[in-house]
Amino acid sequence: MNTIKRLIVLSLILAPAAVLAEGMSLADIARLQQVGEIAISPNGQHVAFTRQVPRDLKHQDDGPAWSELHVIDADGAVRSYISGEVNVRAIDWLPDGSGISYLTRRDGASVLKQIPLRGGQSQKLAKVGEGVLGYSFDPAGGRVALIAFEEDDEDLKRQREMGFTQIIFEEDWKPRRLWIVDLNDDGNDAEPLPIEGSVQRVDWSPTGDRLKIVVTPRQLVDDTLMFQRIRIIDPQGAELGRIDNPGKLGQSAWSPDGEHIAFIATESIHDTREGRLMVAGKQGGEWLHLLPGLEGHVWHVDWLDADQVLFISYEGVEARLAVIGPDADNQRTLWQQDGLIFDAIAPAADGHLALAAHTVAHPREVFRWTEEGPERLTDSNPWLADRRLARQEVVVHPARDGLMIEGLLLYPLDYREGRRYPLILAAHGGPEAHYSNGWLTTYNLPAHHAAAEGYFMFYPNYRGSTGRGVAFTETSQGRPAREEFDDLVDGVDYLIEEGLVDADRVGITGGSYGGYASAWAATYYSERFAAAVMNVGLSDKIAMLGTSDIPQELYLVHYLTWPWEDWAMYREASPIYHVQNARTPILILHGDADPRVDPTQSHILYRYLVLQENPPPVRLVLYRGEGHGNQRAASRWDYSLRLMRWMDHYLKDDGGDPPPYQLDYGF
């Protein structure tokens, strides 16, 4: 273990009393609950939050997880407000703190409602257009700004009823409009404001005289990724100022005095991911970069008070909660702890602060800030105390060119030193994303179950990942599948050299760009991997750009060239170009309604593989109605079972032909 110097942080030690406890099963993973949104009351005494509750397929119809509303009082007691088979989202507080507002669907359209803090029945506040998509209250409490699509006119409705439901590709889009509605009126008489473009977000200034809106030229996915811009308007829709940030845009927030806007953006149009913290005045215009040179990414921002911007920065595999002045002075870290990953902040006017965070020991929960640091307030899965969880470490290793790469390693639950184990490598998507040193177990990456079954699981943050600043994310630009995927193999080699992993029993899985990595491992690097599971992945770069809903994003922050400018690069970076090398058994999984990575990417790889003279074991499974990742409980359960059975068959059993395609779902 000492052949190469490395940093290892032990994030979780097995509880001494857990000798008789069991590891996690796939069924355990399928029932994991977690906190969704959080919102703190204006006086800081209550925290509202949503809880994601997966459906129980034995007793409920299939579908996405339910979203319940709960409230925590000043004493830390949790009270359920709206629970059961419900879907609550976009929660906030009424300006006077008397109730919680939220969006929910009613009669096929999304409606803004509120439930009193004292409890009781929910009441409708407003509905406009085809249904409310976003909202923000006038701080005085009399009005609300609403985002919605306008309803189709009667002629178009009549035509559709007659069967004229054709789609005019990328031309028949509708803009999202903005309404200002009197709360004494449900919006029936309101008219949308005359704003050019499509409104994505709205946020009323604390002073009540203006609104910050985020607009895009068109309501197309590419525009919402690359061309979101901030506009400042008055309540009649007249523009007062603008912020013409380059490239991608993240969160933004008014200062409590309404004098500044903090926002997360990019340094240039070619920056792969928003993560730079900026501040501008209430009129917009020029902005100040608060953290130039930060080797990390800021993804969450708000204000602790008028003189302190509050933010969460992801640096390496950890998270940091900090503040900084709007003039880029007085930066101060409030809290940073290995294995505690903040991912939402909600400050109140009086200085109270609520947070959401996950750790190596549990999924996302609600925390509050105290003088001693963050205090956990919720426990969504109390049964986890009866499960043994695997040892989790941070690993840093050199790539073949000397660049240091970070990753997270989960050990087999009953690991014995000196023994080698099979490995499942988890390649993240993006590649402008990263794994943090927190909770890593999901339906498609069932780490703690794999550990209980005797596997290592390795989560590498290969070059191009976020969390290490702009320069690191740009190391893979214009060079797809080269050094970035060599990093994956170098990580595996490191674990083999350390005496941990059996080189003949290495599998790989991942979704989206991680699916691309899995396909690359099964073709170009086939001799290194004994099993692969590709999820919504890429196989043909040329066809990918022509069928995806994000061609501009792919060009501007990934490829930096068009296919007709460099056919060879696109061709040679495609797994199908290397299909004759393929010997790795590969399971291909894809939602048949995926707009991001067209399902033809999986069809092509499957067809090219089975047409080989000596094809490797291959299976293609399509999930009806699912998009870029599964949402329904049945699709997720099927996915988990297939993933682990494929890995078991080829990494632990004798392999050979694929296992039967039928599954025993257990009920």
Closest CA to 423 of 509, 514, 490, 502: 502
Tell me the residue range of the domain where 561 lies: 390-652
Inside any domain, residue 449: yes
The residues near 614 (Cβ < 8 Å, ≥ 6 apart) are none
Inside any domain, residue 526: yes
DSSP label at residue 470: H
Task: Report how far residue 631's alpha carbon sits from residue 536's, in angstroms, rounded to the nearest whole number.
Answer: 13
The residues near 120 (Cβ < 8 Å, ≥ 6 apart) are none
- Looking from the CA of 510 toward its CB, the CA atoms found within 13 Å total 32
Task: Report how far residue 590's alpha carbon sits from residue 602's, in angstroms, rounded to the nearest whole number.
Answer: 7
Question: What is the rounded average pLDDT of the residues 117-123?
Answer: 92
What's 494's domain CATH number? 3.40.50.1820
Inside any domain, residue 406: yes
Task: Report how far residue 263's alpha carbon sits from residue 12's, in angstroms, rounded to the nearest whole number.
Answer: 35
Give the 3-state secondary structure of residue 552.
helix
DSSP letters for 481-535:
TSHHHHHHHHHHHHHHHTT-EEEEEEEEEEETHHHHHHHHHHHTTGGG-SEEEEE
Structure confidence at residue 188 as a pLDDT band (50, 70, 90):
low
Inside any domain, residue 471: yes
Inside any domain, residue 430: yes
Q: Provide the pairing of β-strand 456-461 with 421-427.
A: parallel
| Residue 492: predicted pLDDT | 98
Task: Report how far residue 504's alpha carbon sits from residue 496's, in angstroms, rounded to the nearest whole number.
Answer: 10
Task: Report how far residue 245's alpha carbon sits from residue 347's, in angstroms, rounded to the nearest whole number.
Answer: 26
Inside any domain, residue 602: yes
Inside any domain, residue 568: yes
Residue type, 290: L
Reported as a single tens digit per residue, the pLDDT across 608-624 is: 999 999 999 999 999 99
Reported as a single tens digit per residue, the pLDDT across 210-232 is: 999 999 999 999 999 999 999 99
Task: Report how far residue 570's alpha carbon sits from residue 566's, in angstroms, rounded to the nearest whole number.
Answer: 7
- C-beta contacts of 10-16 below 8 A and 24+ residues apart: 10/391, 10/393, 11/338, 11/339, 11/360, 11/392, 11/393, 11/394, 11/437, 12/339, 12/360, 12/361, 12/389, 12/390, 12/391, 12/392, 13/391, 14/388, 14/389, 14/391, 15/388
Inside any domain, residue 633: yes
Computed over every residue of the chain, the mean pLDDT equals 94
Reported as a single tens digit per residue, the pLDDT across 42-100 is: 999 999 999 999 999 999 999 999 999 999 999 999 999 999 999 999 999 999 999 99
Give the 3-state secondary structure of residue 288.
strand
DSSP letters for 359-422:
ETTEEEEEEEEETTEEEE---S-GGGGGB----EEEEEEE-TTS-EEEEEEEPPTT--TT--EE
Burial class of 407 by CB neighbour count within 10 A (0 to 12, 13 to 18, 19+): buried
154's enclosing H/E stretch is helix 154-161
Q: Rg of the chain's alpha carbons, rounded to an integer?
A: 25
Reported as a single tens digit per residue, the pLDDT across 506-538 is: 999 999 999 999 999 999 999 999 999 999 999
Give the 3-state secondary structure of residue 69.
strand
Query: How far are the Cα atoms of 109, 114, 129, 171, 609 from residue 159, in angstroms, in the given order?
Result: 21, 36, 19, 18, 45
Task: Report how far residue 486's alpha carbon sits from residue 401's, in angstroms, rounded to the nearest whole number.
Answer: 10
Contact (CB, 8 A) for 345 and 353: yes
Give the 3-state secondary structure of residue 147.
strand
Task: Report how far residue 125's alpha carbon sits from residue 224's, in angstroms, rounded to the nearest whole number.
Answer: 28
Q: Provide the pairing of β-strand 501-511 with 531-535.
A: parallel
| Residue 186: predicted pLDDT | 66
Backbone angles phi, psi at 374, to 5 degrees: -70, 135
119 alpha-carbon distance from chain centroid: 32
Reported as a single tens digit per residue, the pLDDT across 316-372 is: 999 999 999 999 999 999 999 999 999 999 999 888 999 999 999 999 999 999 989
Domain count, the chain: 1
Q: Does the structure show a pLDDT above 60 at 11?
A: no
